[in-house]
Structure 1
Amino acid sequence: MNKQNLAQSLAIESQIRLPGSAGRLLQQIRDVLAVAPLFKKAGLVKRVERPKMIDLSVSGIATHSCIKNALGGYIYASGAVRTDMRIDQNQVSTGGNDSVSELDDIDFEAQRKRLDLVEIRQAYQLVERQLKQGEPSQLILLDTPLFLDRAMTPLDRNLSHVAEYQRTKSYISKFWLENRVDLFPWNTNGPVLASIVAERFSAIISIAKQDLRTEEGRKHLLVTDELDNTQLDKLADLEKRLSGIGDKRFIHGILGAFTRTMAFRMTENRSRMEPSEAVEAGVIGFHYRGGHSGQIQMVQLAGEAQDWDTKKLDAVAWKLMSLDIQGQSKAKPLPQLLAMQQLKMLDKFVEYYRQGLSDAIKNNDVEDTWLSGLDEE
């Protein structure tokens, strides 16, 4: 019996599979290209016009956290940085910046989820500080979600996670209670607070596969974002044509340069978002793409149909597109990229802290400090 090594086996398999795989991919690409014009005619994909001369003030908030082993346990560092930037007649300049940080020991329980909550709270702290200082930027960008979704909900037995969740939930609730009236669109002159999240395509894909001719199928869409009902018959029975096409291939096929999807309700797609009293005012989102080589991003905004229309949504979209850095992997808007540069020191600093902690315990400095004065009357 002849035996094959792995290289020979793979070479034979690739020759057998290649024609079929190529044919399926080409058919999927043809299906997407055929559907894309229908989405544009119906208003599900919109081209966004940008002004030739841009005047804009923007603040980008980036967050990061890391965990290190230390003395049989763990320590963490978590930080958020806000970088302010101005564009005056297309000339870019940086402004002020602000930051917050936490550094402490942490047990093993739900570490990553707890630090996600810390990052959200820190991002909100920086937004609140800028609002209190007066004259905030026209656009404030977060790299964390605006609200807490189901994946962040802790198990009852994880007491540390529950405590962190409740702390963050209370902070978000208090923020929106005190500051909503100062933010756009409730204050027409206020800053827009937006969350930028990359590559979350499931919402718009799910909507695209609904029967949009029915009220039930359209319930996710923002009616004030100009859906052309006369074109919806052409979108019937798309689910069969789109089945097997990956979400990423589909969204890249329908979104060209300087386009966005129609806005959709995120509360309709997520049965549980917290804090409920803040979410009641609505949460919407849309996907957008800047230049031809720009990454597709999703933006999350607070509000409902009565708060947002096509003109307001386009105004947010072109501002985001003007901050897009083309050709960057895992790209963020420019001010957030600048903020991320400062956060690179976090990993090195927690390593330095771990070494200091180890030295302090070895030298008995901590114990001496605790015990000093305890015997004094």
Structure 2
Amino acid sequence: MDGIKEGGTPVSQSIVANIQLGLPATVSKLSSKMRFIDRIAPALKESGVIRNIELINPLTIKASGIAATNRTANAFGGILYIAGAVRQDILIQEGSIYKTRQESTVDVDEIDDLDSHKKLKFIDIINVYRLFEDLMEDDEKPELVLVDVPLLLERQDVPLSDRKDLQKVYKECVDKIEGFWEKYKDKIYPFNDNGIKIASVGNKRFGAVIFALTQDKVKYVVDDIDRNIIVNMNSILPKLQEVGIKRLLTGILVKRTRTAAYEINRINDEERNRLEPQSVGKYEMIGMHIKAGNTTPPTLVEVLGSKELWTTEMLDELASQIISLIAFDQQKAMPLPLWYAKYALNPLEATNNGKNAILQYYKTQAREMLKNEELENIWKEDLDVFEE
């Protein structure tokens, strides 16, 4: 380039300078937060906010995992998608694992790109509930069913009235949820003492139990909590928010533990986080965080039912079953039935040159049919007969 070269600071020098100057401050803040976690952890455990869980050994259980996935590709001014769900049954007999039965459902279609994320969330839940319905009609049912999608929707999921296409998918999802619980609720634990346990396993709503440790909300906690911890929460809460709830939970939850369980809808802002559909949300939902191993991250478990139906012993048993099903202490570890189900979804996620292989084939075939006017010829076939 011609002209006068002015002095300046290259970005490489800025990076080096900021790392050298900022590193001590960052380490100091992290150390302060870690010391706070170490200080508060014993108090939370002694008060009953953190509970130890015993492994079932040897484990004997018949369990199912239902996992869902979706992939998209831009095409024809909108989005092509493939969404599927797999149910994998496994039988564990005194520690020995036997894979038994697998069921699946797959949906391939096109949608517009407006609110596509929400549409696909609804489609995933619909697919999971289809497999739920099939499972409930089986002669031999599992003792425990684990899923990786929410059991219910929330108020924030409700689409605006002018989003007609999204409203249609949302209504289909709500109808599927309502229909299932209306028909099968009395066959599901804890509504039936001998029913199937259905639990959603995920990682959202980190730390809701911490915000339940106040005088007006502790009544929605299922487990007994030492009221002394509540007295100290007013002074601790600002520091908790500074530390970060996810970091706090990761620090205070150790191997084979769970948090106290709580009624999700009542702990949060009831209107903003209201469970949908309301006809099912009225049964309430219990949530708790579990941690299986040293490196396994905290996991949120959600089950339908109120604190009047669930007891500490029942929740300890559920947590013990789920933790016992997490066979490996790894960062991405999950209960075995869910792991098998997710593994079975790999064909839907296969890529070719960074693009989803199935959708690329689907897109190519759709383009060819449009180009050759094959669809129009099929539609006009009967009309052509009459014209002749």
* TM-score tier (shorter): over 0.9
Letter of the 2:294 partner, please give it: H
Once the two structures are overlaid, the 10-residue window that deviates more, 230-239 or 289-298, is 230-239
Q: Does 1:8 align with 2:8?
A: no
Give the letter aligned to residue 35 of structure 2: R
Code of the aligned partner of 1:357:
A
Alignment map for 1:37-186 (pairs within 5 Å): 37-186=42-191
Name the CA distance, whole Å, in 1 between partners of 2:205 and 2:278: 22
TM-score (norm 1): 0.92
SS in 2 for 1:65: strand
Cα separation, 1, equivalents of 2:180 and 2:158: 20
Asked whether the equivalents of residues 57 and 85 of structure 1 are also in contact (C-alpha less than 8 Å), the reply is: yes
**Is residue 2:248 matched to residue 1:254?**
no
Q: Does 1:218 align with 2:227?
A: no
- 3-state SS of 2:384 partner: coil
AA in 2 matched with 1:107 = D
- Worse overlay, 62-71 or 185-194: 62-71
Preserved CA contact (<8 Å) 1:38 1:235: no
Aligned amino acid, residue 343 of structure 2: Q
Partner of 1:267: 265
Instruction: Return the alpha-carbon distance in structure 2 between the equivalents of residues 373 and 217 of structure 1.
Output: 67
Task: Give the stretch that moved more between structures: 39-48 or 9-18.
Answer: 9-18
Contact 1:294/1:324 (8 A) holds in 2: no
Residue identity (%): 29
Of the candidates 302, 314, 321, which is equivalent to residue 300 of structure 1?
302
Which of 283, 288, 291 aligns to 1:289? It is 291
Q: Offset at 1:368?
A: 1.8
Q: Which runs of 4+ in 1 moved over 6 A?
A: none
Partner of 1:339, secondary structure, is: helix
The structure 1 residue matched to 2:193, chosen from 171, 188, 209, is 188
Are the counterparts in 2 of residues 294 and 325 from structure 1 also a CA contact under 8 Å? no
User: Offset at 1:233?
Assistant: 4.0
Aligned AA (2:365): G
Deviations 1:300-332 (A, max 9, x none): 100011111111101110111122254544443
TM-score (norm 2): 0.90
SS for the counterpart of 1:155 is: coil
Q: Which residue of 1 aligns with 2:317?
A: 315
The answer for the alignment partner of 2:373 in structure 1 is 364
> Residue 168 of structure 1 aligns to which amino acid in structure 2?
C
Letter in 2 for 1:339: A
Any idea what the Cα deviations from partners look like across 1:248-292, whole Å, max 9, x if unmatched?
210111100000000011111142221111111111100000011
Q: Which residue of 2 aligns with 1:197?
A: 202
Aligned residues: 370
**CA RMSD, 1 decimal:** 1.9
Of 193-202 and 53-62, more deviation after overlay is shown by 193-202
Gaps (5+ residues) in structure 1? Answer: none
Change over 3 Å in CA distance of 1:12–1:72 after alignment to 2: closer
Name the SS of the counterpart of 2:334 in structure 1.
coil
Structure 1 partner of 2:27: 22
Q: CA deviation at 1:121?
A: 1.1
> Unpaired segments of 5 or more residues in structure 2?
1-5, 349-355
The answer on 1:237 being equivalent to 2:235 is yes
Structure 1 residue matching 2:40: 3-state secondary structure:
helix
How many angstroms apart in 2 are the aligned matches of 1:100 and 1:243? 42
Amino acid at match of 2:173: T
Distance 1:310 1:130 in 2: 28
